[in-house]
Amino acid sequence: MKKILYLFFGFIFLSACSGGYSFTGGDVGNANTISIDFFPNNADLVQPQLSQIFTEALRDRFVRQTRLELISSEGDMMFEGSIVDYSIQPLNVQAQNEGEFAGQVAQTRISVTVNVIFTNKLEPDKSFERTFNRFADFPSDQELSAVEVELLNQISQELTENIFNESVGNW
């Protein structure tokens, strides 16, 4: 008899959780579809792979962490925008010998800024337009070409996490 009661209450609990929430914290409400446009790179410095890396990371995050179906356009939730800044900056100038200033750069920072327009057709008050920025540092003794794609993947994951939380995280 106890097993039947546990199963019954377990079923009731799972049924109550089947609303618009996912186990990752995303509240998609009554939305069933999402469309995520390609994010072109409109930055002064263009990295050829960045648009593809970022757009696919954003699409992947929503497909993996929500029940939404990804469609090509006019979803219940829509994302569009562009990459507005991509920069590579030297950081942390260090001395070569103690007390001697050599002006050698110890680290370099890659920074990406994305302008995002989120439209929620079913709940327009949750729509927004804003910019998101993330960066990653690497030792300057490494070649940019050796670490760039890996760092762009890392930055894109962090950006998509911020965008996900802002749009459906309901925190």
Q: Is the pLDDT of residue 148 over 60?
A: yes
Q: Which of 158, 81, 151, 170 is nearest to 118 (CA)?
A: 81
Domains of the chain: 20-168 (3.30.160.150)
Structure tokens at 87: 């920069």
Mean pLDDT score of the chain: 85
Q: Kindly report, residue by residue over 28-56, the tens digit of the pLDDT.
A: 989 999 999 999 999 999 999 999 999 99
Write the pLDDT tens digit of every residue in 96-109: 666 555 567 789 99
**How would residue 19 be classed by pLDDT, with cut points 50, 70 and 90?**
very low
Mean pLDDT, residues 83-96: 84
Q: Which residue has the tokens 């990406």?
A: 112
Q: What is the pLDDT of residue 103?
A: 62
**Exposure of 99 by Cβ count < 10 A (0-12 exposed, 13-18 middle, 19+ buried)?**
exposed
**For residue 99, what pLDDT is reported?**
57
Strand arrangement, sheet containing 69-70 = 69-70, 33-36, 77-94, 104-120, 128-139
Residues 3-13 have pLDDT tens digits of 554 444 444 44
Amino acid letter for position 145: S
pLDDT mean over 122-138: 96
Q: Coil, strand or helix: which one is 9?
A: helix
* Whether the predicted pLDDT of 14 surpasses 50: no
Residue with tokens 């920025």: 133
Helix orientation angle between 50-65 and 144-168, rounded to the nearest 10 degrees: 40
Tokens standing for residue 104:
């050698």
Q: Residue 21 — very low, low, confident or very high, per pLDDT cuts 50/70/90?
A: very low
Question: Could you tell me the pTM of the whole model?
Answer: 0.79
pLDDT at residue 101 in the model: 54
Is residue 134 within 8 Å of residue 158, measured between CB atoms?
A: yes
